[in-house]
Amino acid sequence: MKDFRKQAEKLVDQMTVEEMASQLKYDAPAIPRLGIPGYNWWNEALHGVARAGTATVFPQAVGMAAMFDAELLGKIADAIAGEGRAKYNEQSSHGDVGIYKGLTFWSPNINIFRDPRWGRGHETYGEDPYLTSRLGVAFIEGLQGDGVYMKAAACAKHFAVHSGPEKERHSFNAVVSAKDMEETYLPAFKAAVCEAGVEAVMGAYNRTNGEPCCGSETLLKKTLREKWGFRGHVVSDCWAIRDFHEHHMVTATATESAALALKNGCDLNCGNTYLYILKALDAGLIAEEDIRRAAVRLFTTRMKLGLFADDCEFDKIPYEENDSAEHNLLSLEAARRSAVLLKNDGILPLDRGNLKTIGVIGPTADSRTVLEGNYCGRASEYITNLEGIRRTAGEGVRILYSEGSHLWNWRVEGQGEADDRLSEAVTVASHSDVVILCLGLDASLEGEQMDKSNTFDSGDKPDLLLPQCQRNLLEAVCAAGKPVVLVLNSGSAIDLSFAQEHCDAILQCWYSGSKGGRAMAELLFGDANPSGKLPVTFYYDGTLPDFRDYSMKNRTYRYLREKPLYPFGYGLSYSRFRFGGLKTEPGEETGDVMVRGSVDVTNVSGRDGSAVVQVYLDKQPGEKLSGGRNDGLSGLLDPDNQPVRSLCWFGRVQVPAGEKVTVSFALDRTAFETVLEDGSRRVLAGQYTLYAGGSQPDERSRELLGEEDWDKTEFYAG
């Protein structure tokens, strides 16, 4: 076993303090006398190698979350790491060590998508801490690999409590309770560190409870290092340390900001504030050992990547592995599995034999940008929704196309709102047997604050509605009287209440990757079977708490007291599954498993299908969890501030038509723990209800499905 830290220490100890300090910035310069080449730490791989030319473009992260498939996500991450190595091996051979050319990928984003107005929410794995934890671990393990050397280095971001508002992120203070911190905001990061062994953690722009995240003693020292035992390196978000003195006003100068970040464990500066490190040293604000410690952590990562070795197994990966046919088929399969069928009155799958003319209408129909999302590479081939339908419909079907409206409400001089294409859209609809209406957003409407193309609120959405021009188009097309299938590309929840009432079917496709149009068309025509589930709740507009309020009350399915439009975990299929025979038994007396269980999944339809099994636990403290064994909780247990239910296991299983498959699962102690108001955890004594099925066990799912879609059992625990 190689001792990479010792190798790093040996190298760093040959440096002067000036040389050590120079290595703490993202664009670390070469040190020729020690044979150290320059290295740029800044790279991205959210859903494919990003911003570095041609690469396979997978569906955006929130779409991959909708697969509810940790195994496939791990394969995707491995493919991304392979493409990263292929590009690095070739580029470094030409001396190209610029930005987006390294092997340290600042992915995944495992923040909790607590509010659908947040513009960067589509970078995440959704709103649930358990789902995010499992997918985060799968992505990190897939990216880093299990060889002698790391295939690539993953980075869990943004630590912690970060989800908007984007326009205030450089000065915003997220105030969060100890309970919400432990119950919602930290579990995915803990799993990334303690289970997946993530190599890097990135701090957030904002403050959390008064401390700037990239210089937080609570987060970086007490939690990350001391409590969780993190041994990798910490990187700041880009130019976030500058915010300490310019916007957060917790320091007075750049020198003080550099010292605060370094002392509390931020090793690498994405930005230039660490140019003041030596001034901080001269002023006595830091010690030379602080600089050395950070440098050793950074060079340990480079040693793990084999950047100073001649026996790294990944050095031989050829350039041809990038954008390979195999990886593009993987992207296509991910797009198929990620799409969520929200409504189907029986019109889907479309019957080619009964169609002569299909109208394809909408501003996202022929758009490449709705396939990409943000933080993406460039595909060598894109299949838009329109192109996918053309390729899939068959030679005997005529395709009529109209853009119908602009993506958003831009104004034409002298004309006001630009609804100048509505009449053409209505004409196309009236001349078609069925309309495929393609609406949605793209990264210019929901994204990151620094992206100058963001049209709305610095990347955040002002509400949950489609832009007015698209709503006008939706109403006009539905009024034409022809069957309408709505295809929605977006990275977040949209209020589709009008579409739910007036459209015949709705397919949520997210930002679906370079082959997204082909996958969408295959699903519409029945060449593929929808199986995705919502990783976020779809709310009615106007029902959410204040965006700046970080309390989890009435947010996400776990705390929502109102009825949603579409619940977390919901999604239809062309197959029909029945769930029954749910059994549980106690886990081993020693070990982490508290309960083992199994459930039968029967395909009662005539079509093979993939079922996503979801296991939820109702552990809401109240009368049924009161009693002598729960005494001493006065002031620590608020029954009205508990999750309604929580996802505690999920898995995919292929079930042939007419057959039954038994799925086994194991639940660890964490699933049964109640988080008290002080942030501590405790398994309370009482009766617990466990549900296993194809959806969340809630009233709205029952309404949409027309029946219960789960089995349940009760047992005593604690």
Q: Say how far apart CA 252 and CA 523 lie, in whole Å.
A: 57
Helices (H), 68-194: 70-93, 129-144, 178-180, 187-194
- Cis omega (within 30 of 0) on the bond before 379? no
Dmax (CA) for the chain in angstroms is 80
What's the token pair of residue 370? 């709705």
What's the token pair of residue 214? 């990239």
Q: Say how far apart CA 41 and CA 152 lie, in whole Å.
A: 12
Annotated catalytic residue: which of 237, 243, 333, 673?
Answer: 237
Helices (H), 94-219: 129-144, 178-180, 187-194
CA torsion 61-64-69-70 (nearest 10°) is -20
- Residue type at position 144: Q
CA torsion 653-654-657-658 (nearest 10°) is -40
- Residue type at position 324: S
Q: What is the DSSP letter of 563?
A: P
Instruction: Return all residues near 583 (Cβ < 8 A) that are at least 6 apart.
Output: 597, 598, 599, 713
Q: 254-263 and 288-304 helices cross at what angle (nearest 10)? A: 60
Annotated catalytic residue: which of 44, 123, 183, 446?
Answer: 446
Q: How many CB atoms lie within 10 A of CB 640?
A: 9
What's the token pair of residue 276? 């003041």
Burial 212-248 (b: 16+ CB within 10 A, else e): bbbbbebbbeebbbeebebebbbbbbbbbbbbbbebb
SS3 state at 600: strand
Q: What is the 3-class SS of 45-90, one letter each residue?
A: CCCCCCCCCECCCCCCHHHHHCCCCHHHHHHHHHHHHHHHHHHHHH
Q: Say how far apart CA 547 and CA 537 lie, in whole Å.
A: 16
SS3 state at 520: helix
Task: Name the residue among 701, 597, 689, 680 with its Cα closest to residue 645.
Answer: 689
Q: Partners of 157 in the beta sheet?
A: 109
Q: Say how far apart CA 422 and CA 550 lie, in whole Å.
A: 41
Angle at alpha carbon of residue 261, lines to 137 and 164, rounded to 5°: 55
Give the residue carrying structure tokens 């690999």.
Answer: 145
What's the token pair of residue 285? 């604000």
SS3 state at 610: strand
Give the residue carrying structure tokens 């209406």.
Answer: 437
Q: Say how far apart CA 479 and CA 476 lie, in whole Å.
A: 5
Contact 698/689 with Cβ under 8 angstroms? no
Contact 172/106 with Cβ under 8 angstroms? no
SS3 state at 657: coil
The yes-or-no answer on residue 237 being catalytic is yes
What's the token pair of residue 286? 């830091």
Distance from first CA to last CA of the chain, Å, rounded?
42
Give the residue carrying structure tokens 């690498």.
Answer: 268
Q: Which H or E run contains 615?
A: strand 609-618
> Burial, 400: exposed, middle or buried (Cβ in 10 Å; 0-12, 13-18, 19+)?
middle
CA torsion 601-603-607-612 (nearest 10°) is -30
Active site residues: 237, 446
